[in-house]
Amino acid sequence: MAKTKTNRCPDSFSKKKAALKKFIKGDPYILASVTDYMAGTLFSKVVCFISVTDGTFRAKVFSAAEYDIFDAFEKACDKAKSFVTESGTDVLWLKADFVNYSKIVSYKNFLAGVRDSREFFFKKGVSFDVNFDTALLEAQLNCGGLLDYKSWQLNAAKIREHFKENGNDKFVLIPDNVIEFTTVGYICDDDMSTCKLYPDEENYGRRVIGELAKEDIGRVIRKSSVYLANAIAENGRFDYGVNPVTDFHFVTYNILRHAGTIWSVIMQYDTTHDESLVPKIESAIGYMLDSVEIPDDDHAYLIERKSDEVKLGGNAVVIITLSTYMSVFKNDKYKELIRKIANSILDCQEADGSYYHVLSYPDYKRKERDRIVYYDGEATFALARAYSVTGDERFLNGAKKALDYFIENDYTRFCDHWIAYSVNEVTMYDPQEKYLNFGLRNANENLTRIFNQDTTFHTFLELLMAAYELYDRVVSNNLRASYMQKFNKEAFIRTIYRRAHYMLNGYLYPEFAMYMKNPLSVAETFCVRHDSYRIRIDDVQHYIGGYYHFYKHFDELQKNYDEILNKPVVKPTVTSADEERASFVNWILNNI
């Protein structure tokens, strides 16, 4: 899935350097950011790092320390320019980082800080000397695999090799004391646009975005969807996933996730109407259908051939994907197949509304009662979708029967996006109060957990947006839902915006991608940072799913959010003791 480099001028480094320097000079906070922390410390020089890459190799980083901030910038740039000139590198991305905090700590205490962090979430750099000649940015430690989270140690051998590859032979061993540090950064993109990067712990190293704009979300959807489209081979199979730190591509495959990912590419087409996507969608569907078996006139199954299994969730996602395809492309091409697969889902539904999860193939005998809770919501969503396509009441009744089971067994505790999708879909056709209340509860009772989640956890935005559609329908159609009295609209809207903003930390902007092994191949798609920045088609699918619906409802969401932000603050009324006693006496006299 290699991306091609854009054409850039021969003197790309100098032009980007000039643009970046101008932008940095325009930051009114830069001087205070990089000098205030030095008061009372042993450090008196400003340290600047310059990172460069043409997109085909992991960024090269050059550092300099000077008393003046722009002297440090120029000196580091001179080192970078020497490399660029000698290697003939046409610079795609140019990034500057200035140290805004540093502290001498024992190596033991440094590692204690690493152990206190989540994997790949340690957000400090390290220098092995006071002049920062042998220093590594946070992004180099994490994206370069120099910090081993299995042993919670720095990999000295890899670090030594890293410095030697960059012509630096000053590093020998990790000393007893090291310098931990953070930076404030700036980047010049391939299109000459410049951005400041967040210096705070939560969003560290990501470009600053104030209020989320609709065009920001639209760009993220388009770019990450392009990654998925490019991942489809001629035979319709996806490049399943990659570890961008090592550029190792996964050799395993999962047909269920394949089916769900097609759904995202169809969403992309629905947003952009890019006709070049159509043959890719068709080939990916064709690859999926090669794994569908039709044993008789009334049943069909998606087969996971590597394990000879039929997964309830796999059958369900085929229906969800094909029904979306039919809706977007305005045809009924797969109506009969959807009917057959929906029949197979009904066969797996028990009398109490629950589902049997896994069958064996080729005999279709029951193999495993419970595999993963997600299958339940997927199956229910699929049955409701099958009803929308076929009009067969059996499928809607099966979906409602499942919802009754979810309510009785309090499925809100699973914080499951598929449950949100399913109850939203069912209530489009049967808005019974008990189902509406359940859908509202599924969001409302999980708001604290969702708001405070410290990883990007991509399915949470999907849950919130499916619940938003249900909530909006209750309000717009004046539907009866007693739980609305408990529903915290303000917390709900704030949590949607919180997740939409925080999830961008899982997006591989150039400032992250440039430190990966093959930057252009992974830039501007989504990853799971706490799993070695894993990029996998189903992860990208869920990110896109959440953002697609956020984008779709952006205008009304923004209106709600603005109302919350702009509502007047009511000051508490101060009541004297005499006034309180008089009020109490009057209440007694009026109520006896």
What digits encode the pLDDT tens for the residues 97-108? 999 999 999 999
Residue extents of the structural domains in the chain? 12-196
pLDDT computed for residue 572 by the predictor: 58
Helix ranges, 365-480 (H): 374-390, 393-408, 417-429, 433-444, 447-452, 459-476
CA 250 to chain CA mean position, Å: 20
pLDDT computed for residue 67 by the predictor: 95
pLDDT computed for residue 3 by the predictor: 53
pLDDT computed for residue 570 by the predictor: 61
Residues forming beta bridges with residue 195, ordered by sequence position: 187
pLDDT computed for residue 587 by the predictor: 46
Average pLDDT over residues 8-20: 85
pLDDT computed for residue 40 by the predictor: 78
What is the pLDDT confidence band of residue 579, given thresholds at 50, 70 and 90? Answer: low
pLDDT computed for residue 524 by the predictor: 96
pLDDT computed for residue 39 by the predictor: 84
Roughly what angle, to the nearest 10 degrees, separates helices 433-444 and 459-476? Answer: 140
Average pLDDT over residues 153-168: 93
SS (H, E, C) 11-32: CHHHHHHHHHHHHHHCCCCHHH
> With contact defined as beta carbons under 8 Å apart, do 13 and 94 qualify?
yes
With a CB cutoff of 8 Å and minimum separation 6, the contacts of 1 are 227, 230, 231, 239, 521
> 310-351: per-residue pLDDT in tens?
999 999 999 999 999 999 999 999 999 999 999 999 999 999
Share of the chain above pLDDT 70, in %: 94
pLDDT computed for residue 568 by the predictor: 78
Mean pLDDT value across the chain: 94
Average pLDDT over residues 290-300: 98
What is the pLDDT confidence band of residue 567, given thresholds at 50, 70 and 90? Answer: confident
